[in-house]
Amino acid sequence: MPGERRRRLGYTTRQYGSELRVVPADGTSPTCPARGVRDPENRVGCGRKMACVHCGFTGHADKAASVEIEARARRAGGTVVKSTRRARTGPSRHGTSVAGVRA
């Protein structure tokens, strides 16, 4: 039930000093987290991987979508007090670094 989920998320984010911003999730998984550019060719097939045809970034499609959803929330206005993602300095589990450069 979406209304209940939104209510609980709103409560939890306030509890941790943040806020809930509802943004559309459509088109987030073919958006490259390294470049911020959406291209349907990044998601050929129906697998869990996405590969940017422009810069070569590869990673899990859901992770790429979560980065884009957070970026949309930040663009929606104001500031995000606490991010749900930890900052990484080294290579990711998917073979690329945070900046999208192959490790």
Direct distance between the N- and C-terminal alpha carbons of the chain, in angstroms, rounded to an integer: 41
pTM for this predicted structure: 0.65
Is pLDDT at 41 greater than 80 in this prediction?
yes
Q: Distance of CA 101 to CAs 11, 41, 72, 95, Å?
A: 37, 19, 23, 9
Encode pLDDT of 48-88 as tens digits.
Answer: 899 999 999 999 999 999 999 988 888 887 655 555 555 55
Q: Check whether 100 has a pLDDT greater than 60.
A: no
* Alpha-helical segments (H) within the chain: 2-15, 61-75
Cα dist. 55→41, 86, 99 in Å? 12, 24, 11
* Residues listed for the chain: 103
pLDDT of residue 45: 77
